[in-house]
Structure 1
Amino acid sequence: MIRPLLKGPHVRQAALFVTLAGLAAAALAAEPETFGKDANGFESLFNGKDLTGWQGDPDHWSVEDGAITGTTSAEKKLTENKFLVWAGGKLKDFELRTKFRLRNGNSGIYIRCLEREPGKGDALVGMQADFAEDPKWVGTIMEYLRRGILANRGEKVMIDEKGSRKVEALGDPAELLKAYKPKEWNDYHILCRGGRVVLTINGVVMADLQDDDPKRLAEGVLGLQVHQGPPMKVQFKDLWLKRLD
């Protein structure tokens, strides 16, 4: 059956419907990839099945046994660090909860980072919540390729507007390290609010930073790292984000 052409107000109504539908679709497309929210306002960043909502090199990133898995090998040796970046855009003030397990090597969770153009070295530059096979790096706040170590495990650090640092003892680094379980699943909680960054592993505060340096990155992307060097494997699961801004 041939349908009659729309005329007059019907044309306007149809055009309005198409416009609204297009706007709705665009709005949905712009929404960050999240997978539900808990009673405390944390959004899930990982569906437990695939890497929907994340961007990275499939040679190094996959899902294994319900966990985001980053690997390097002798055959796929890296000359620079690689990242799996959350596609939800830049973050400013937030809390992040996740579980991680490091088989060997070095890894970290990059927070408020800058993305660099391909071919210019590491794709992400900025602050990270560090952990590694070498216990020195467990629970350390590091700003890779910028200001270096900002707070070691066991330190409470204040950086003023001139970049000067004041360091106080937060705890004995060796005692704090006992909370970490090598090669097992560990809880990582990261708080970023203004210049304050606090790292907590398995319920124990590892490092506390108040960064008022105007050079600091106030916002940026979230990423997970596989490190250049010997073959390694790292896994993440139960990634939950709560925006505080």
Structure 2
Amino acid sequence: MKILLTLSLLNCLIFGATACAQETATAQSADTVVLYAGGDLAGWVGRDDLWSAEDGQIVGRTTDEKPIDGNTFLIYEKEEFGNFELTAEFKIEGGNSGIQYRSRVIDEDKFVVSGYQADIDDANKFAGILYEEKARGILALRGETVTIGADGEKTKVRFGDAEKLGNGIHPGKWNDFRVVAAGNHLQHFINGAMTSEVIDEQSDKAAKSGIIALQLHKGPAMTVRFKNIKIRKL
């Protein structure tokens, strides 16, 4: 990456803005991993009765006739990620879901993971918060910047109104989620607006890297859809 950036700078100086833009795009594409852009679920593992690929989308679906008794996940198994910018589109109808990152598998048979989660829900109460699945729970609510000290104590600063931020999220329609994980600094954005932020200084619990996964939550019937999932490594 350093070599690519050096060449890019040299091209900018010699050949001008057009070459600069071309070289920058090349450097960025070299660090971008497409997790899902349509097609089958190659590279992902989860319950075949709950997850499918439909119309260029990853679809997770539960029914009232066959409810699930615990949260389960579709796991991207090709690679783990540390510092990155993740972008994805999602649509949810009923229930609760989320995008796991820097997570780990704790039950291979039931596809259960633990770790940071960019939360999504149809009721629009938790969408955008930072939740830690099977661990410390809610780390930052919508509209909060939270610093977690080495001892686990939280210092909270409110940067936005949770309800107003929620008005920019649209259950039942497509939304853009962006997650930025840079060192111990974690940020969530939905439809361009930052919804939560955490500086995690609790080194014995803060994950530095891990898997990406998508959640289906136990409870009432629900359908969640994802498409255009990409990661740009930082």
Q: TM-score, normalised by structure 1?
A: 0.80
Distance 2:111 2:36 in 1: 24
User: Is the aligned partner of 1:94 residue 2:84?
Assistant: yes
Distance 1:234 1:106 in 2: 8
Match of 1:229 among 215, 219, 222: 219
- Aligned runs of 1:106-121 on 2, under 5 Å? 106-118=96-108
Amino acid at match of 1:147: R
Amino acid at match of 1:195: N
Cα 1:145–1:122 change in 2 (3 A) is farther
The answer to whether the Cα contact below 8 Å between 2:146 and 2:157 also exists between their aligned partners in 1 is yes
Larger Rg: 1
Q: Deviations over 1:16-75 (max 9, x none)?
A: xxxxxxxxxxxxxxxxxxxxxx75333211140110111111100001121000001123
Q: Deviations over 1:85-130 (max 9, x none)?
A: 11222211111000000011100001111111346x7610111000
- Aligned runs of 1:80-159 on 2, under 5 Å? 80-118=70-108, 123-159=112-148
Corresponding residue for 2:183?
Answer: 194
Runs of at least 4 residues off by over 6 Å: none
Distance 1:122 1:167 in 2: 33
Corresponding residue for 2:44?
Answer: 54
Corresponding residue for 2:197?
Answer: 208
Corresponding residue for 1:29?
Answer: none
Distance 2:228 2:220 in 1: 27
Amino acid at match of 1:225: Q
Structure 2 gap ranges (5+): 1-24
Match of 1:164 among 128, 144, 153: 153
Corresponding residue for 2:66?
Answer: 76
Structure 1 gap ranges (5+): 1-37
Amino acid at match of 2:217: H
The answer to whether the Cα contact below 8 Å between 2:124 and 2:169 also exists between their aligned partners in 1 is no
Distance 1:54 1:97 in 2: 17
The answer to whether the Cα contact below 8 Å between 2:46 and 2:111 also exists between their aligned partners in 1 is no
Question: 1:165 Cα shift?
Answer: 1.1
Q: Could you say what secondary structure the match of 1:174 adopts?
A: helix
Amino acid at match of 2:226: F
- Structure ranking higher in strand proportion: 2
User: Is the aligned partner of 1:177 residue 2:170?
Assistant: no
In the alignment of these two chains, the number of paired residues is 206
Distance 2:213 2:180 in 1: 15
Amino acid at match of 2:120: F
Distance 2:101 2:79 in 1: 12
Amino acid at match of 2:68: L
RMSD across aligned positions (CA):
1.5
The answer to whether the Cα contact below 8 Å between 2:98 and 2:118 also exists between their aligned partners in 1 is yes
Amino acid at match of 2:55: D
Corresponding residue for 2:3?
Answer: none
Q: Could you say what secondary structure the match of 2:142 adopts?
A: coil
Q: TM-score, normalised by structure 2?
A: 0.84
Distance 1:46 1:138 in 2: 22
Percentage identity across aligned positions? 35
Distance 1:84 1:218 in 2: 21
